[in-house]
């Protein structure tokens, strides 16, 4: 059935964009077909497509195809955030490391002795990440250790340790996430937004945490084990 539907379409990227457009843009907007066609075939001009992607027939076929695919295959209706939630939940259910993020420093040499760093995959640990869009999920943190056996240097994502002392990298703010503890990380975008909301909106951190939990559906799930953004635990 799918093969039959896709007949005449040589680029799945175009079809994927058409599905996205169909799912996202209300059908009542003026020139829906033209806008769908233009958006779906963006970038195609450089590739010299064998089909005339600007013809009304092509646009009509694309609109029908994406609409049919959405009706016949409900999974194609799901947005990225929904699929992400399912991916995260299935990886947690399977008790495996989360498939989403790997927090690994991009530094390659020891800052103390300049010897190369080695990825220590036997010391992978789980980190709870708080993200504005994705919600709360698990990631894997992998340290890099100095290859010089006499050197007690470990490079983590955004910080390093020497013996038992911890120091932040001077360029930690360039990372996508901030590891505030060895088990907790915040996305930098989330922190920037949080700072503005707390300063301008005069919200307390507790109020912001409640908003975060409400948005991501954690506020009323006190019986579940899902982590929340509040240090005070579930309500």
Q: How far is the CB of 157 from Zn ion (least distance, A)?
A: 18
Q: Is 83 in the site for Zn ion (CB under 5 A)?
A: no
* Interaction residues for Zn ion, span 123-152 (CB under 5 A): 146, 148, 151
Nearer to Zn ion, 16 or 107 (CB): 107
**If you search the block for the tokens 């929904």, which residue do you land on?**
82
Size of the site for Zn ion (CB under 5 A): 8
- Buried (b) or exposed (e) across 121-136, using 16+ Cβ within 10 A? eeeeeebbbbbbebbb
Alpha carbon of residue 163 to chain centroid? 33
> What's the rounded Cα separation, in Å, for the pair 180 and 161?
14
71 in helix, strand or coil? Answer: helix
Shorter beta-carbon distance to Zn ion: residue 112 or 173: 112
- Whether 90 contacts 137, CB under 8 Å: no
Nearer to Zn ion, 72 or 112 (CB): 112
80: Cβ–Cβ under 8 A, 6 or more apart, which residues?
Answer: none
Q: Please report whether residue 118 would count as binding Zn ion according to CB under 5 A.
A: no
Are residues 179 and 156 in contact, defined by beta-carbon separation less than 8 angstroms? yes
Q: Which of 84, 130, 137, 153 binds Zn ion (CB under 5 A)?
A: 153
- The helix/strand/coil state of 116 is strand
d(CA 209, CA 30): 40
Distance (Å, whole) CA 229 – CA 135: 9
Position 178 contacts Zn ion (CB under 5 A): no
- Least distance from C-beta 49 to Zn ion, angstroms? 54
Does 116 bind Zn ion (CB under 5 A)? Our answer is no
**CB closer to Zn ion out of 25 and 113:** 113
- Is 173 near Zn ion (CB under 5 A)? no
Shortest distance in whole angstroms from residue 117 CB to Zn ion: 8
Question: Between residues 113 and 196, which has the closer beta carbon with respect to Zn ion?
Answer: 113
188 binds Zn ion (CB under 5 A): no
Q: Which of 72, 113, 173, 196 binds Zn ion (CB under 5 A)?
A: 113
- Interface residues toward Zn ion, by CB under 5 A: 110, 112-113, 115, 146, 148, 151, 153
């Amino acid at each position: 059935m799918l093969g039959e539907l896709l007949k005449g379409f040589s680029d799945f990227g175009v079809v994927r964009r058409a599905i996205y457009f169909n799912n996202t843009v209300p059908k009542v907007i003026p020139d829906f077909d033209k806008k769908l066609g233009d958006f779906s075939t963006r970038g195609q001009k450089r590739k010299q497509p064998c089909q005339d992607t600007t013809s009304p027939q092509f646009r009509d076929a694309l609109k029908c195809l994406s609409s049919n695919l959405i009706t016949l295959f409900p999974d194609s209706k799901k947005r990225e955030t929904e699929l992400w939630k399912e991916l995260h939940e299935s990886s947690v259910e399977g008790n495996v490391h989360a498939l989403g993020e790997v927090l690994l420093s991009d530094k390659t040499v020891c800052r103390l002795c300049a010897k190369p760093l080695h990825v220590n995959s036997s010391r992978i640990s789980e980190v709870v990440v708080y993200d504005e869009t994705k919600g709360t999920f698990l990631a894997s943190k992998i340290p890099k250790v100095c290859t010089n056996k006499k050197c007690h240097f470990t490079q983590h994502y955004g910080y390093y340790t020497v013996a038992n002392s911890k120091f932040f990298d001077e360029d930690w703010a360039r990372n996508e996430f901030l590891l505030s503890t060895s088990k907790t990380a915040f996305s930098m975008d989330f922190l920037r937004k949080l700072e503005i909301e707390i300063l301008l909106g005069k919200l307390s951190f507790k109020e912001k945490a409640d908003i975060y939990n409400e948005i991501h559906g954690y506020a009323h799930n006190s019986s579940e084990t899902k982590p929340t953004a509040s240090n005070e635990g579930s309500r």
